[in-house]
Copies of this chain bind each other. A is one copy, B any other.
């Protein structure tokens, strides 16, 4: 029954203007227009079909990705798309490919760390895709600990070259996307050695393959690292392994890392290392762009999963039939709402945090490029606490993490929650969520690596914790905490305040929520600091108390997300009922965290058991307010069925006939009697195993 909207009833229940919320979600009318136009363009082009991915073998799958990536580039040129449109197009093609790394890491690395000459030489080639680049950092033996990388770049003053070499098996580059079969060049991270001295890890532009016939250059061993989790998922990507056997590159292929107009680090013709005194922690690198992208991807991933689970929960009926009538829609069960609606709220919460991060990065970037270091006291304050990170010359990667430590906080927090959210959505779809046609396995498998590929979350959370401890230790010094830790300036109050919630409705006040979250975060940090002070050796204390420190960091991150959601609601938001429904989601988001982490709030005395149960009561009544708006709230993401890639999440709700139809496309159904019957099954049934060839 194509053309019928089986969810029309649900849509008519919405109490707000969906079109206005679409614009809020997109960020602006312009952003909405571009997204809407490009997503339809992709969805309507059969060359971008993606539903057959799970059925393809690795080689076919990969070849198909190459075709799509090249075709996408062709369309970008033909349609003269600008950078924003081109990047949206790649986004909606929705297939991990070498181009992600080329545009997302290789180009930004050169832009962020290259000298003017390097940029003039390499960027035009990269922009036209006359070379294809990757970002070769992670090694078999070292991921999170970038300082521990083993690849060496030894300067040879005789020839004015660096010799790139893989001295051990564990120094093999391992994981970089696009490296395995496609990239012609890479930004390779290696330890700089001059005159026998180790100067830490730096980036180098290295050609990997011949531009004539694509064969690896002499001294280079390169390949794919093999299959990864999931059916299609990241198996469309050639994550690579790479070994160097004394590969020589000219000196000017070391990325010299400019900040503003200042050269931060260079190796001179005679092998001397020169460093400027621009604060190391302000180096602006590739990872900043990357983080920004990852956060955006994260809010997309969760919203896709939530969209699928919400629509299907409205379609699926189970139990509760009375007098032979229809059964109850699964979305009407409180247990379903209790799991689903907080995730729906999270999708919006993360979107708004992402928006704020984007603004933050843009702002900081602009200041940096204007050589305006002095106006960044907040950045200084934060980076100071992350000194351990910046004591080595670990390339822009981690330094930038330090610079944007307020960014990292939320970023880390997101990942902490997100993957579980996708998996929870899959569970909310019951058994059918396990089918590839549901789209959820793919979403899960694609999203999973985000949690590790840019630094393990626990490692990042410990960095956050370290900064919090520093902040606490300076509280008495008159130095005011700023930015996202500003609330700690009121520590004295927060350490002894009493929550004044008396009725369930009191929990709707943003001030009540904020204070409870701030008190909890402060008290957990202060408790950690107190326990730390009992150790003679601070570092020993850090190791021993890691688990508590991580919990304190999580509390801080959750506070940030909640407070950014509340801030968003203080802005002007047009559209009938839009602000109201977002307000409901904000409360759902916060009170659900409060319920999940009740132990924190109670053990620190921030709230009483009675107040905790009032919060749960309020939460239940908020769910009833979300319910009629649920479908419209996910419609506001404005995802095409192509992008969503899920039979369960179809816009029209026509789930069962399409599931049935899709089943018959499996290769196993090519024949009624399966391949293997005559060799294996018939001899079994006919008791003729002795002569069977097995």
Across the interface, do B427 and A451 meet the contact criterion of CB distance under 8 Å?
Answer: yes
| A213, B599: Cα distance in complex, Å | 64
Cβ of A77 under 8 Å from chain B: yes
| A410, B547: Cα distance in complex, Å | 29
Cβ of A225 under 8 Å from chain B: yes
Across the interface, do A431 and B229 meet the contact criterion of CB distance under 8 Å?
Answer: no
How far does the Cβ of A65 sit from chain B's closest Cβ, in whole Å? 8
Give the segment of A258-266, A473-481, A612-620 that binds chain B.
Answer: A612-620
Tell me which residues across on chain B come within 8 A of A69, comparing CB atoms. Answer: 680
How far does the Cβ of A624 sit from chain B's closest Cβ, in whole Å? 10
Given A223-B663, A546-B338, the answer on whether A657 and B169 have CB atoms closer than 8 Å is yes
| A193, B598: Cα distance in complex, Å | 52
| A58, B386: Cα distance in complex, Å | 49
Across the interface, do B145 and A318 meet the contact criterion of CB distance under 8 Å?
Answer: yes
Across the interface, do B224 and A62 meet the contact criterion of CB distance under 8 Å?
Answer: no
Across the interface, do A226 and B666 meet the contact criterion of CB distance under 8 Å?
Answer: yes
Looking at A56, A77, A211, A226, which has the most chain B CB atoms within 10 Å of its CB?
A: A226
Tell me which residues across on chain B come within 8 A of A225, comparing CB atoms. Answer: 435, 663, 666
Q: Would you give the 0/1 interface string for A214-252, flagging 1 where the beta carbon is closer than 8 Å to chain B? A: 111000000111111111001000100100000000000
Given A547-B335, A687-B130, the answer on whether A318 and B142 have CB atoms closer than 8 Å is yes
Q: How many interface residues does A have (CB within 8 Å)?
A: 136
| A47, B434: Cα distance in complex, Å | 29
| A597, B452: Cα distance in complex, Å | 27
Tell me which residues across on chain B come within 8 A of A333, comparing CB atoms. Answer: 543, 546
Q: Would you give the 0/1 interface string for A662-673, flagging 1 where the beta carbon is closer than 8 Å to chain B? A: 111111111011
Across the interface, do A545 and B448 meet the contact criterion of CB distance under 8 Å?
Answer: no
Cβ of A327 under 8 Å from chain B: yes
Across the interface, do A435 and B226 meet the contact criterion of CB distance under 8 Å?
Answer: yes
Given A227-B54, A228-B435, A672-B215, the answer on whether A660 and B71 have CB atoms closer than 8 Å is no
How far does the Cβ of A572 sit from chain B's closest Cβ, in whole Å? 35
Cβ of A485 under 8 Å from chain B: no
Tell me which residues across on chain B come within 8 A of A223, comparing CB atoms. Answer: 663-664, 666, 668-669
Tell me which residues across on chain B come within 8 A of A682, comparing CB atoms. Answer: 214
Cβ of A430 under 8 Å from chain B: yes
Across the interface, do B547 and A334 meet the contact criterion of CB distance under 8 Å?
Answer: yes
How far does the Cβ of A327 sit from chain B's closest Cβ, in whole Å? 6
Cβ of A656 under 8 Å from chain B: yes
Given A148-B321, A674-B62, the answer on whether A694 and B71 have CB atoms closer than 8 Å is yes
